Amino acid sequence: MPYLADETRYQDMVYRTSGKSGLKLPLLSLGLWHNFGTNDDYQNMKNMCFAAFDRGVTHFDLANNYGPLPGSAEMNFGRILREEFDAYRDEMIISTKAGYTMWPGPYGDWGSRKYMLASLDQSLKRMGLSYVDIFYHHRMDKNTPLEESMLALDTAVKSGRALYAGLSNYDSATAREAGAILKELHCPFVINQVRYSIFDRHIEADKLEQTAEESGFGIICFSPLAQGLLTDRYLGGIPADSRIGKGGPFLKREQLTDEKLGQIRALNEVALSRGQSLSELALSWVLRSRQVTSVLIGASSPEQIVQNLGILQAPAFTADELSRIDAITGAAH
């Protein structure tokens, strides 16, 4: 039986406008960085997409290199689109990126016009789409003129292969400069995707939120749970089936020091006092910023997605709670 979306899917979700654009994104967006690759379970992928969309999560975030293997997340999501979501395409925001290694040689990486537009064409083919809603340059490239990369984004939009331009992993100064170029080109630049969490506050020191406010773009945050550290997974140690336990590439055993574990447990106490899980606290904390349009969640099951959506009923932070969080993590303001 073909998938039929829940008729109440827009009842509870909150949407924020991205910067000074007209584009609205759900508070929670589904990232396909993990668990949509070659060796992952296809039915579970579908169930996660269903669970998200049925609850108003309209934004699905990909990149050319997501997998593994690189490109496989786009292929799997494209299959889901064809088989289940064809009738709902206009209700969805689908994004992809180019900037990391995709094929051998000098034209398969970084930020040249040659690479970025070829990569976008490959992404569209893998997903079976004529356009994506947001096309990002995935990382800064000091060896390619910024104007060249921005002109590639402009071409993507004005050729109809993307509706909006985005940046990812851009620092404040470079995002400001890139935004000025795109504004001059009349290219709708709407968002910068960056890493941000209670444990990783580099965008605060970089004053990215201030730049976003002044330049008119939104911020969407990835790794808000610090690759799983800001969940209940490690409160009692290191489970064998966790990212650290499996020896994955993104979270290492040496990162979970005794000091870090103490911080995690103290943050969990703050979460419990608010009636939240630790992961809900972490997501709510990122979204406390009015410059943050949306936060990207990864998931390995539909149940995780449903649990994270509990933040829609989260109470606002008190000044005392924010001070406690800062004190626990040693953050200085």
Beta bridge partners of 15: 26
Q: Summarize the confidence of residues 296-312 as an average pLDDT.
A: 95
Question: Where does the pLDDT of residue 243 fall: very low under 50, low under 70, confident under 90, or very high at 90 and above?
Answer: low
80 Cβ contact list (under 8 Å, min separation 6)? 45, 46, 49
Average pLDDT, the chain: 94
pLDDT 10s digits, 70-91: 999 999 999 999 999 999 999 9
The yes-or-no verdict on residue 106 having pLDDT over 80 is yes
The yes-or-no verdict on residue 220 having pLDDT over 90 is yes
Q: What is the pLDDT of residue 253?
A: 61
pLDDT 10s digits, 143-164: 999 999 999 999 999 999 999 9
* Entry pTM: 0.94
Q: What is the pLDDT of residue 248?
A: 60
Q: What is the pLDDT of residue 126?
A: 98
Contact 219, 293 (CB under 8 A): yes
Q: What is the pLDDT of residue 143?
A: 98
Question: Where does the pLDDT of residue 2 fall: very low under 50, low under 70, confident under 90, or very high at 90 and above?
Answer: confident
Bigger pLDDT: 2 vs 194: 194
Q: What is the pLDDT of residue 6?
A: 98
Bigger pLDDT: 204 vs 248: 204
Contact 85, 79 (CB under 8 A): no
Say which range, 141-145, 215-219, 229-233, 298-302, has the weakest mean pLDDT.
229-233
Phi, then psi, of 41 in degrees rounded to 5: -80, 120
Structural domain boundaries of the chain?
15-236+279-315
Residue range 15-236+279-315 forms a domain whose CATH class is alpha beta
Helix (H) or strand (E) holding 189, with range, is strand 189-195
- DSSP, collapsed to helix, strand or coil, labels residue 218 as strand
Query: What share of the chain has pLDDT > 90, as a percent?
Result: 89
pLDDT 10s digits, 33-77: 999 999 999 999 999 999 999 999 999 999 999 999 999 999 999
Tell me the CA distances in angstroms from 291 to 70, 189, 198, 210, one per residue in order. 31, 15, 16, 8
